[in-house]
């Protein structure tokens, strides 16, 4: 029998590992920005990643986050980010928020450029940054990847074909990643929001048409906010590491299902 002296020491609890640290993508607006604020408020060291440098600088001034302007679909940007994070001691958590939708065309009228953009940002970008950070998360011993997807990755709807395709793909990728990384003690979490009223999501999807974007939420009492979703993300990555919240669906009460949204007035 092996003596106690030769037994490997148990992995230290999360609370014994010092400051928690994360990369959060899509950090310049909406759920990504709210997630940076939520984690920073709990003392996390947060690398806030997005393309818009000015917004990141303001967020850094307000939260103490480390701003890093980058486009997650660009290999050089991802490599620079990994190098910067390594130089600052690494991370234990990757929070993939970056993504988005473009257009509401039916498949018969689909715009190729919109579909390519959605697949590139939601799927390929998430893959690239996850692939780049997995060695670091494995080496940490208790790494976490959280992917923010959507209920659009569970149920399709007319006019959502391109976004459905992207989010179904990201959902499938997330499930495969969970199976592949369990042996490395990397937990993989998926958060799937329903209707969330944010500053830019519907505005961007509808080509900048503010009136049309506002109609998306018209009559809906208390749609989710970015802060609601960020609070769920914060909880999911903060619970003890042996707890894996695999799939979290979060919707406003008014959205009982993808096909049932209560509008009043």
Known active-site residue 163:
yes
Q: List beta partners, residue 46.
A: 22
Q: Tokens 């929001």 identify what position?
A: 193
Pair of tokens at residue 51: 């393309």
Most distant CA pair in the chain: distance in Å?
74
Nearest to 262 by CA among 213, 219, 214: 219
Catalytic-role residue among 157, 163, 217, 235: 163
> CB-based contacts of 194: which residues, under 8 Å, 6+ apart?
150, 151, 224, 249, 250, 251, 252, 255, 258
Residues 174 and 111: their CA atoms lie apart, in Å, by 26
Residues identified as active-site: 163
């Amino acid at each position: 029998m092996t003596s106690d002296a030769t037994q490997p020491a148990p992995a230290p609890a999360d609370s014994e590992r010092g400051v928690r640290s994360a990369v959060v993508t899509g950090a310049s607006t909406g759920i990504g920005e709210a997630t940076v604020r939520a984690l920073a408020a709990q003392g996390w060291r947060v690398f806030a990643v997005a393309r818009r440098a000015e917004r990141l600088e303001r967020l850094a001034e307000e939260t103490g986050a480390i701003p890093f302007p980058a486009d997650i679909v660009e290999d050089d940007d991802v490599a620079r980010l990994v190098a910067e994070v390594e130089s600052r001691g690494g991370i234990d958590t990757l929070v993939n928020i970056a993504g988005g939708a473009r257009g509401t065309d039916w498949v018969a009228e689909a715009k190729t450029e919109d579909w390519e953009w959605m697949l590139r940002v939601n799927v390929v970008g998430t893959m690239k940054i996850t692939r780049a950070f997995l060695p670091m998360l494995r080496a940490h011993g208790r790494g976490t990847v959280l992917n923010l997807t959507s209920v659009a990755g569970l149920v399709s709807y007319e006019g959502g074909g391109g976004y459905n395709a992207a989010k179904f793909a990201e959902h499938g990728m997330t499930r495969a990643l969970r199976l592949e990384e369990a042996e490395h003690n990397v937990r993989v979490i998926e958060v799937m929001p329903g209707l969330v009223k944010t500053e830019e999501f519907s505005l961007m999807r509808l080509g900048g048409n503010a009136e049309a974007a506002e109609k998306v939420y018209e009559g809906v009492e208390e749609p989710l906010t970015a802060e609601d979703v960020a609070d769920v993300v914060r909880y999911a990555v903060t619970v003890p590491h042996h707890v894996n919240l695999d799939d979290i669906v979060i919707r406003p009460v008014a959205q009982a299902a993808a096909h049932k949204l209560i509008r009043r007035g």
